[in-house]
Amino acid sequence: MKASTPTRWNLFSLLLVILASDAASQTAHHLTSEELRSDLRSVIILAGYPCNSVAVFTNPGPSDYHVSCDADRLYRVHVSEEKGIVVENRSDPEGAASEADADHDAFMRRQLFAIVSLAGHECGRVVHHEVRGTRDRIVTCEDQTTYRVHVTPEGRVEVDRHLITK
């Protein structure tokens, strides 16, 4: 790796934080409430936490949001200079909904959780997944609901309830 790479990355990280702060401070002024809710919901899900819809949010400081999802889940979303975007589970600080990407399977489960949740389906966490074909998977959530996640010829990702036939 070239010696200049860390410096380049540090500069880009700094740029991102500056732009993030700027953009986050502008969001309250330029984005509609619905757009901001959608952004916050996506970020929470991408971090591995469930959030079907954002009920209420407050913006106590620049780049800092306190979010209530589905009436009983509280999160704090903020921008950290060190970590980038940070989502804290305020309802259950010890909760392990957001699995660390310790290994390949943990990474895949978190990604598939995000895909299923972003498509509008409830899935506390993914407990099992298997390949069914090219870009075609079966995903099992913790409540044992199974979904088929596949790509259509048009390039869309479809997430459908899947009934297992034995």
Partner 1 sequence: MKPRVLLWIALLSLSSPVFAQQSGSVDSDSGEDFNLEALVDRISHSKALGFLTKLSLKLDIDGFLKMIREYHDKGGGEDSLEQLHERYDVMVHKLVVLLQDKDEELVKSIDDGRDKLWAMLADAKKFAGM
* Residues contributing to the site for partner 1 (CB under 8 A): 1-2, 4-5, 8, 12, 15-16, 19-20, 23-24, 27, 31, 35-36, 38-40, 42-43, 46-47, 77, 79, 84-85, 101, 103-104, 107-108, 111-112, 114-115, 118-119, 135, 149, 151, 154-157, 159
Give Cα 4 to chain centroid, integer Å. 32
Q: What is the largest CA-CA distance in the chain?
A: 57
Nearer to partner 1 by Cβ, of 12 and 160: the residue is 12
Nearer to partner 1 by Cβ, of 65 and 73: the residue is 65
Asked if 23 and 3 touch (Cβ cutoff 8 Å), the reply is no
Distance CA 166, CA 146 (A): 14
For the residues of 33-63, what is the DSSP string, one character each? HHHHHHHHHHHHHHTT---S-EEEEEEEETT
Minimum Å gap between C-beta 70 and partner 1 is 19
Minimum Å gap between C-beta 166 and partner 1 is 27
Minimum Å gap between C-beta 90 and partner 1 is 17
The tokens describing 159, both together, are 């997430």
Nearer to partner 1 by Cβ, of 24 and 73: the residue is 24
Nearer to partner 1 by Cβ, of 35 and 92: the residue is 35
Minimum Å gap between C-beta 24 and partner 1 is 7
How many residues are present in the chain?
166
Distance CA 48, CA 100 (A): 9
Minimum Å gap between C-beta 95 and partner 1 is 19
| Sheet strands (E) in 13-125 | 54-61, 64-69, 73-80, 84-89
Nearer to partner 1 by Cβ, of 70 and 105: the residue is 105
